[in-house]
Structure 1
Amino acid sequence: MHSVAALRPGLHSTRLIGVRDHPAREPQSMTTIIPARSAQKFLSVLPHVCGYVPRLSLVVVPIVDGRTAGVARLDLPQDEEAWGEVAATALGIVCRLPDAGRFAAVVYTDDPFVDRDGAIAFEGFMGYLRERADHCGVEVVDALCVAADGWGSYLDDPSPEHGRPLDEIAFEGALPEGVEPTPVRADQGDGAELPACDLAEKERLGRALAEIDRACAALGSDGDESGIAGIHPRALATACLLGQIPEVFEESLAWDVEALEPYLAGAVAWALNRPFFRDVALSQWSADIEEGYETLAFNERWRAGHRAEPTGPVRLMGEGPRPDADRLERALELVRRLAAAAPREARVGPLVAAAWLSWALGRATHAARYVALVAEIDPEHGLASIIASMLEASYLPPWAFERP
């Protein structure tokens, strides 16, 4: 994958503008303006915007009405042949935002601040990006570099001897009093690892899934109930819940993932491994239980042969209003736990859900990690392949371009 982009509407900053509260915490909250009137202040706050310290990245900060309209991260181009693709993706993100005619750009590199030719690291690429921006009628208000041994602006002295000290831009304590700090991960890949689960939890979920499979097969055997003998009553009760699976999906957002009830957790894992129910879960978690039931009804009509187009937004493609990030966060925490605890083949559904939820939250690097884990088990998985294609194309959810 050459480049990955993620647009996060939130903390608004550059040296010319202000800062918003973290989007993953309160996406519908009132705007809190935090002045960031210097490049140093901007770079100190930026990790709080992203939720991590970017690494080997180009970070693009579009500006609308004097405030930033989000943050996009792309992989740094590793050679000159990739400049055009990365620049086009960055400018495409800026131009898709209504009224965004300006942006700030930051390179994060592990290279020294000054390269062998005496120029700032990646100065050639940044010059190319600025040139392409000018051709598109987009203004670059600042272009900064954070390197292994210093930082500075590409718009300052064209022949710098060294960068400014990195300790000037420490993100800890960067937010003013009264603004709640947000967790800042080590880099964009940090946090993608699945949680640790002990063997007992894995065995409980594995047994529950096997029993639910048996119960579903028995209850679907043309009214012959002889097959239910010996099936655990909890498995039978769980199988009977599938007609009301949106209720389970909704309740699951409040579960303690450290103490999951095996059969209820098994119901969600079982459902996520079946596209018929998985699409209901993802649509519902990105909206509400009413949308879950609507998606379930649509899938039932489709299975019965009615091929009408959906009457509402297709959530799986990022359509509709921006989701409540808290709901997506809770769902992601659950499916990551299920993926960690489920038997190998049953991990696919929760992993795909984790990939989609990460993409919806603007964590393309995490989404790519989960897609890769799915490919190890099922290389031809449909939704995983679609997510991989969206990531490869740096395709973002349309709601990412809505003004909050």
Structure 2
Amino acid sequence: MTRTDRLATARHSPSREPELLCVSGLPDLLAAVPSMIGLHPEEALVVVPFLGNRSGGGFRFPIPERLRRAEIDQLAGRCVRFTASIPRATAVLAIVYTRRSYESARGIPLLDLGRAVLRRLERTDLGIVDVACVAADGWGRYTSAEETRAPRPLAEIEGSETGVLARAAAPEPLDVSALAALPTVSDADRAAVAAIVRRPAAGALDVIGLVERWLHGPPAPRQEATIIRVLQSPPLRDQTTLQIALGSEAAFEERRRQRRLEGEQARTGRTMDELVEGDIHAGLEDAHDLVSASLMMGTGPGPDPERTERAAGRLARAAALAPVEARPPVLTVLAWCWWALGVSSVAARHLEEALRIDPHYSMAKLHWSVFEIRAVPDWVLDGAARSLDRAAARPRAR
């Protein structure tokens, strides 16, 4: 999977006015990029769209370990497509961040990638701010013959006053590896959770109420164990995902739909897949069905970002507590949350772990396919466009 992150909207309030930072050259701009996108970019292609001389964020495309011609072409192509998806963007800055060095590469690292991105951008109507590389031992521009041979010092970026101001004006950029790591939990809590998960469920359960208490209350191993067990059921897993994204009413509607289908299944003997397909062909999909499908496919208005971000933290703890064999459903819902927030590289790591544990887990495979097609949901792209518009609309300080 080629993973893509839109990072500026996930951690910032949409209503917050963007900070205006004046830059006097490319080193200043490079110094501000981590704060603009919300992450420390490592082994990544970062694309920053501009409207005039203003920008409000950017995208991050992780660079795969094996970078062959096919991967280079795919990265360069996606760079252009994602920039084109911001309708009012007039120009773009592309930066390759890598741990490779000029010394080891005998010149600017990842030259083929930089040139491929430049060629693709030259075929568009977008202005090119620059295509640059920040390496382990210096930085340079793929557009400068001199800088492809010898680096400029990193001190030009690290000593930038603009970078200091950017870090002061925005939350501290996150580390992707740290973000993807599951939290540390105690052996006692893990053992208590395993005992509950592995014993048979007793009696009826108010799943919707449980999910709300789990989302908004303090962590409690017994409650977390019940959530882990709930997620083992595909219908309840899907209902919980909708509840995380849209709230309790969506979960009640999903439960009503599921009970109707179960009743038809008992009456007709048809499979659930056959019943759902029949509803689609008969045009019986209602507004709830359309919203649910759009949400899972990354189209439409999107989920509640605060609920989704809160759930990501709770699900990460649940995955850390869960017995290994019970983790795939938890990791899969966690992956969807990160994808919905626009941090697809973290989502992919959780999906990879779910499929490592259970290569046949169907929902993880389905999400993988969706993320391949739509690496960034529409609502994240819409947020990027709004962020760019807000940045462009701010009056320059006098």
* TM-score, length basis structure 1: 0.79
- What is the alpha-carbon distance in structure 1 between the residues aligned to residue 261 and residue 87 of structure 2? 36
Distance 1:105 1:48, change over 3 A: same
Q: Return the alpha-carbon distance in structure 2 between the equivalents of residues 376 and 123 of structure 1.
A: 33
1:306-321 to 2 correspondence within 5 Å?
307=279, 308-311=284-287, 312-314=290-292, 315-321=295-301
Which residue of the partner structure matches residue 223 of structure 1?
Answer: none
1:80-106 per-position Cα deviation (integer Å, ceiling 9, x unaligned) = 343222111111111122222421100
Matched, 1:67 2:54: yes
Are the aligned partners of 2:61 and 2:75 in contact in 1 as well (CA < 8 Å)? yes
Q: Where do 1:367-382 residues align within 5 Å?
A: 367-382=347-362
Query: 2: distance between equivalents of 1:287 and 1:112?
Result: 46
CA distance in 2, matches of 1:55, 1:250: 36
**Mapping of residues 224-243 of structure 1, within 5 Å:** 239-241=204-206
Aligned counterpart, 1:270? 229
> What CA distance in whole angstroms lies between the structure 2 residues aligned with 1:43 and 1:197?
38
Q: Compute the displacement of 1:175 (Å).
A: 4.9
1:136-192 Cα deviation digits (max 9, x unpaired) = 323221212101101133334545553232233349983538955423344x33321
Output the CA distance in 1 between the equivalents of 2:210 and 2:159.
40
Partner of residue 320, structure 2: 340
| Higher helix proportion | 2
1:328 to 308, 328, 353: 308
Q: Which residue of 1 aligns with 2:247?
A: 288
One-letter amino acid of the counterpart of residue 253, structure 1: L
Partners of 1:33 and 1:343 in 2: CA distance:
48
Q: What does 1:161-176 correspond to in 2, within 5 Å?
A: 162-170=150-158, 174-176=163-165
Instruction: Tell me by how many angstroms 1:401 deviates.
Output: 1.6
- 8 Å Cα contact 2:43-2:98 kept in structure 1: yes
Residue pair 1:5, 1:394 contacting (<8 A) in 2 also: no
TM-score by length of 2: 0.80
Structure 2 residue runs of 5 or longer lacking an equivalent are 265-274, 387-398
Q: Answer yes or no: is the 8 Å Cα contact 2:72–2:112 preserved in 1.
A: no
Matched, 1:49 2:49: no
Equivalent pair of 1:325/1:361 in contact (CA under 8 Å): yes
- Judging changes above 3 Å, is the alpha-carbon distance between structure 1 residues 295 and 40 closer, same or farther for their aligned structure 2 residues? farther
State the SS of the aligned residue for 1:24.
coil
Write the deviation string for residues 30-61 of structure 1: whole angstroms up to 9, x where unpaired: 33333344322222222223333212211111
Aligned length: 360
Kindly, what percent of the aligned residue pairs are identical?
A: 26
- In structure 2, the partner of 1:366 is 346
Q: Which is further off, 272-281 or 74-83?
A: 74-83
Is residue 88 of structure 2 the alignment partner of residue 88 of structure 1?
no
Query: 1:41 touches 1:169 (CA, 8 Å); kept in 2?
Result: yes
In structure 2, what residue type is equivalent to 1:113? Y
CA contact (8 A) 1:298 1:310 kept: no
Measured after TM superposition, the shift of residue 270 of structure 1 is 1.8
Q: Contact between 1:279 and 1:316, CA under 8 Å: does it hold in 2? A: no
What residue number does 2:390 align with? none
Q: Matched residues in 2 for 1:318 and 1:393: separation? A: 10
Shift of 1:114: 6.3
**Secondary structure at the counterpart of residue 214 of structure 1:** coil
Distance 2:374 2:104 in 1: 29
Deviation at 1:393, TM superposition (A): 4.2
Name the aligned partner's letter for residue 42 of structure 1.
L
Answer yes or no: is 1:204 the counterpart of 2:204.
Answer: no
Distance 1:76 1:171, change over 3 A: farther
In structure 2, C-alpha distance between the alignment counterparts of 1:159 and 1:41, rounded to whole Å: 17
Superposed displacement of residue 313, structure 1? 1.9
Structure-2 residue corresponding to 1:34: 21
Choose the corresponding residue for 1:136, options 119, 124, 128.
Answer: 124
| Change in 2 beyond 3 A, CA 1:175/1:253 | farther
Gapped runs of 5+ residues in structure 1? Answer: 11-22, 220-238
Shift of the alpha carbon at 1:381? 1.3
Bigger mean CA deviation after superposition, 120-129 or 351-360: 120-129
Give yes or no for the alignment of 1:6 onto 2:8: no
CA 304–99 in structure 1, closer or farther in 2 if over 3 Å, else same: farther
Where relative contact order (Cα < 8 A, 6+ residues apart) is larger, the structure is: 2
d(CA) in 1 for partners of 2:28, 2:187: 47
2:331 to 351, 357, 367: 351
In structure 1, what is the equivalent of residue 269 of structure 2?
A: none
SS in 1 for 2:50: strand
- Name the counterpart of 2:392: none
What is the aligned partner in structure 1 of residue 86 from structure 2?
97
Does the 8 A contact of 1:355 with 1:370 survive in 2? yes
Task: For residues 102-149 of structure 1, give each alpha carbon's deviation from its aligned partner in whole angstroms, at most 9, with x where no partner exists.
Answer: 2110011222236756x4323343222222222232322121210110
